[in-house]
Chain A
Amino acid sequence: MPEKTAEKHVTDKAPAPGAVAEAGPAPAKARSLWSDAWHDLRRNPMFLVSSALIALLLVMTFAPGLFTSASPRDADLAEHYLQPPNWGHFFAPDWLGYDGQGRSIYARIVYGARASILVGVGVTVLVTILGTFIGMIAGYFGGWIDSLLSRLTDVFFGIPFLLGALVVLTTFENRTVWVVILALAFLGWTQIARVARGAVITVKQADYVVAAKALGASTGRILMKHILPNALAPIIVVATIALGGYIAAEATLSFLGVGLAEPAVSWGLDVSTGREQLRNAPFTLIIPSVMVSITVLSFLMFGDAVRNALDPKLR
């Protein structure tokens, strides 16, 4: 999300990145926050590594067939029951071994990316939209609207996330990816709402907002054209860092048996089936666990890099 906007800014004046700072052509535009951030990010190895990993996961999400020809649901107990990994057979169905149902662990890893990525990205997008909307309304209008919305935020914030998710999700018989996304978003918007409210309160006192008001701009225009773009940076920082947490939450809930359910393919589910084999075939549990951790780590590193670029004070 952020780097796309930033990219546009950069390519506008890409030919002379150094020259601008020195003498420069007459309209020596100062770099905007976004292009400055992009400038930093391109040089950050942590950002490059994590983006590469995330790109790989995205390809797995949308085209799992590119990585394996095996099906994650084909179970052959007679042939493959708990067959240990064959580390030399890269990308073959038996590369990472077979689980207690005789299913290829490698295929399940590849196909399981979809649930994690969809939930992580889906919840983050919904939470950002909902939280920004509520926070912006509360921060901009103030008064009783602010009091009401802030108390509402407190109420949702007071419910521990995992507990709330457990309560909501146990009531659903048919838990698809979308149900999990909606349930997590329903409970998770509070942090963004608080950050957005704070950012909007700071921005709304700026001269350009007063000027826009004096020029007779409508409330909607002020909010969308003046307030939102300038309050966006802290919101994006919080959202990118939260993304990894939602992926971990999906895996945890599926592991507890209230997230996705079979026949869905999810790493959390694989961990919970692997749990019975912890003593005699630990790889059935360890491989999906490692995969969850690597994915969460990629998004955390990505979020960290974005935060450092957008908010140098936090370094």
Chain B
Amino acid sequence: MGRYVARRLLQMIPVFIGSTLLIFLMMYALPGDPVRALMGDQAFDPAVVANIRKDLGLDQPILQQYANYLGGLFQGDFGTEIGSQRPVADIIADAFPVTIRLTLFAFAFTVFVGVGLGIVAGLRPDTLQDRGLLTLTLVLISMPSFVLGFLMQYLFAFQWQLTTPTVRDSMNFGELMLPAIVLGSLSLAYVARLTRTSMAENLRADYMRTAVAKGLPKRRIVGVHLMRNSLIPVVTFLGTDIGNLMTGAIVTEGIFNVKGVGNAIYEALIRREGATVVGIASLIVLVYLATSLLVDLLYAVLDPRIRYA
């Protein structure tokens, strides 16, 4: 187990470096210049621009810039925004807790409601409730999150006045509920479908027949034998999903005006603040890699046949 974790952690390093390098290259090697953006529409002296570029290290070869950036990153230095002179670490410290709250809220909603609906439908495949769930989830999957977001905002905030249209206080869980539901609903649909299919399939498995024949109580058959085996694909999906939820937050946060990571990264992109974009993106990649490792370790817990040497 320990050796497996160590090997996986080592494998994560090149993937992390590769992904961040790719984002870095896309940010800096493609056209678009933060120093020019700083100048706005004013006429400017090319010498001044060249000086600023030199001070910021933007005149060095791109790989050298990346190496400098990575060196700073390992010392906990995320760099400084060019326009606002704000340290990127500050921006991240402001925005991350908000998004983490939103994401965890959405994640909890996805897990409990999604798995719950999946169980209800999966235990009785091809009944009315099963067909109903399949239709409902198909509709949810086909709605891009901005469509669902505006629909919910229109119905709950404008028509029925049940909640505020935008989030004013990101510490208030009541206000965060609507964005969290919108953010989590796509994953919820996938989770419900996966749980349902996986359970319906495993109902016919040999071990289920054995468990029934042994006369075990139904609660134990479903709760232990069926659930434990059916949840493996669901756990896989949920693991890769946290990263998607964090980027999906770009849209949801925009609609509900939540001051989180999505908002910060979107604004930074428009102003071409590379350090902010790459910093936040690196953290999201890191979260993604960490959760996929966690998922692989969870396999061993769920399925005793899987053992890591």
Contact = CB atoms under 8 A, between A and B. Distances in A.
Interface of A: 151-152, 154-156, 158-164, 166-168, 170-173, 244, 248, 251-252, 255-256, 258, 268, 271, 275, 278-279, 282, 285-286, 289-290, 292-294, 296-297, 300-301, 304, 314
B243 A167 contact: no
B269 A166 contact: yes
Contacts of A258: 269
Contacts of B22: 155-156, 159, 164
Contacts of A292: 144, 147
A293 B183 CA distance: 16
Contacts of B196: none
30 contacts: A152-B18, A154-B18, A155-B22, A156-B22, A158-B18, A159-B23, A160-B246, A161-B247, A162-B248, A162-B250, A163-B265, A164-B22, A166-B269, A168-B26, A171-B26, A171-B31, A173-B31, A248-B144, A252-B144, A252-B146, A255-B144, A256-B251, A271-B146, A286-B150, A290-B147, A292-B147, A293-B142, A293-B147, A296-B143, A304-B138
The 3 residue pairs across chains A and B that have the minimum distance between CB atoms: A155-B18, A171-B30, A297-B142
A246 to B, nearest CB: 11
Contacts, number: 131
A150 B14 CA distance: 12
Contacts of A256: 250-251, 254, 266
A166 B26 CA distance: 10
B19 A155 contact: yes
Interface string B19-53: 10011001100111000000000000000000000
Contacts of B16: 158
Most chain B beta carbons < 10 A, residue from A159, A251, A275, A282: A159
A278 B285 contact: no
Given A156-B22, A300-B142, A168 B30 contact: yes
A83 B151 CA distance: 21
B147 A289 contact: yes
B227 interface: no
Contact of B250 (A159, A163, A173, A278): A163
B19 A159 contact: yes
B301 interface: no
Given A162-B248, A244-B142, A278 B18 contact: no
B153 A278 contact: yes
B142 A158 contact: no
A85 to B, nearest CB: 16
A300 B141 contact: yes
Given A155-B19, A171-B30, A160 B284 contact: yes
Contacts of A161: 244, 247
Nearest to B27: A167
Nearest to B289: A158
Nearest to B32: A171
Contacts of B266: 166, 256
B142 A170 contact: no
Secondary structure dominating the interface of B: helix
Contacts of A304: 138
Given A160-B243, A296-B144, A278 B269 contact: no
B150 A285 contact: yes
Contacts of B15: 151, 154-155, 158
Interface in B268-284: 269-270, 272, 277, 281, 284
Contacts of A171: 26-27, 30-32
Nearest to B25: A167
Nearest to A257: B270
B281 A163 contact: yes
B207 interface: no
B139 interface: yes
Contacts of B138: 297, 300-301, 304
Given A166-B269, A168-B30, A296-B144, A278 B281 contact: no
B285 A158 contact: yes
A152 to B, nearest CB: 8
B226 to A, nearest CB: 19
A155 to B, nearest CB: 3
B24 to A, nearest CB: 10
B15 to A, nearest CB: 5
A288 to B, nearest CB: 9
Interface string B152-174: 01100010000000000000000
Contact of A164 (B18, B23, B31): B23
Interface in B3-19: 14-16, 18-19
Interface string B213-256: 00000000000000000000000000000011011101100100
Contacts of B187: none
Contacts of A282: 154, 158
Contacts of A251: 144, 146
Contacts of A275: 150
Given A168-B30, A256-B251, A278-B158, 18 more contacts: A158-B18, A158-B19, A158-B288, A159-B281, A160-B247, A160-B288, A162-B247, A170-B32, A170-B270, A255-B144, A255-B251, A271-B150, A278-B150, A278-B153, A293-B139, A293-B144, A296-B141, A297-B142
B32 A278 contact: no
B145 interface: yes
A170 B272 contact: yes
A252 B251 contact: yes
A282 B269 CA distance: 29
A115 to B, nearest CB: 14
